[in-house]
Amino acid sequence: MKKWIVLGVALLGGCAVQPAERGNHAVGGNAVDTASQQRARTFTDLAEAYFYRAQYKVALDELRKAITADSRFGPAYNVYGLIYMELAEDKLAEENFRRAIELDRNDSESRNNYGWFLCSRGRYDEGLEQFSTALRNPLYGQPELAMANAGECAEKKGDYALAEANLTKSLKLQPDNAATVLKMAGLNYRQGRYSDTQRLLARHADIAPPSAASLWLGVRVERKLGDRAQEAAYGLQLRKRFPDSNETRLLYAGQYE
């Protein structure tokens, strides 16, 4: 996925987003698994695969088949939301995320994705509420994702204490998640905790290849600490590995903040 975010879109930057849960419908309180639901699930899975390859038109075609097979299959609306979010069709994205949640109030994956959508549009409090609701579901299989997204959302809002609390919880559940480690490193940098930033960057390097974002953060933290040799080393890697990245353009422009 291009983001995120976070699907984990990051996300899916995110990631901020991730595949929809594949739970059963509930009719009169009883779980059912009908042939129409099976077809809807198959088409939704195909749509999701096309979505991750940025083949949005084909993905939308598969989702139409899913909804034709079962108009109450909530995960299909979740994927609709993700696609429309990528296409900047905000009204359609929100309508579909809300439809997914209406069909299953306990759909934490859709709430996580909807939360990231809201945060990415500057609606921080609404997004944080969706993450909180997702995390109140004891059956949510990937709470560390919503915690990490809530941390990034809180940071964007300017609530660094809440951001750190959520990122810390996420890392306790998944200590080797490189994206979350990097988010925590960036948060420490913004709070002027440069030694902690260095430590987290070293941890990131142990568990994942360098990214443009991690190298750029390395450039800036070493510049703050006055280590010109290490700053230059990070800068050289950034220019060689990611010559066309936005981070490299910022480096050439000298825009360190």
Residues in CB range of 178: below 8 A, 6 or more apart = 204, 207, 208
**What is the per-residue pLDDT for 2?**
38
Distance CA 125, CA 135 (A): 15
Q: Over 70: is that where the pLDDT of 128 sits?
A: yes
Is 96:107 a contact under the CB 8 Å cutoff?
no
Q: What is the pLDDT of residues 48-92, one digit of tens each?
A: 999 999 999 999 999 999 999 999 999 999 999 999 999 999 999
Distance CA 170, CA 182 (A): 12
Distance CA 222, CA 197 (A): 10
Distance CA 207, CA 41 (A): 34
Is 109:96 a contact under the CB 8 Å cutoff?
no
Rounded average pLDDT over 170-175: 97
Q: What is the pLDDT of residues 181-235, one digit of tens each?
A: 999 999 999 999 999 999 999 999 999 999 999 999 999 999 999 999 999 999 9
Q: What is the pLDDT of residues 95-114, one digit of tens each?
A: 999 999 999 999 999 999 99
Rounded average pLDDT over 20-39: 56
Distance CA 220, CA 246 (A): 15
The domains found in the chain, sorted by start residue, are 1-174 (1.25.40.10), 177-257 (1.25.40.10)
Q: Over 80: is that where the pLDDT of 22 sits?
A: no
Farthest CA pair distance, the chain: 67
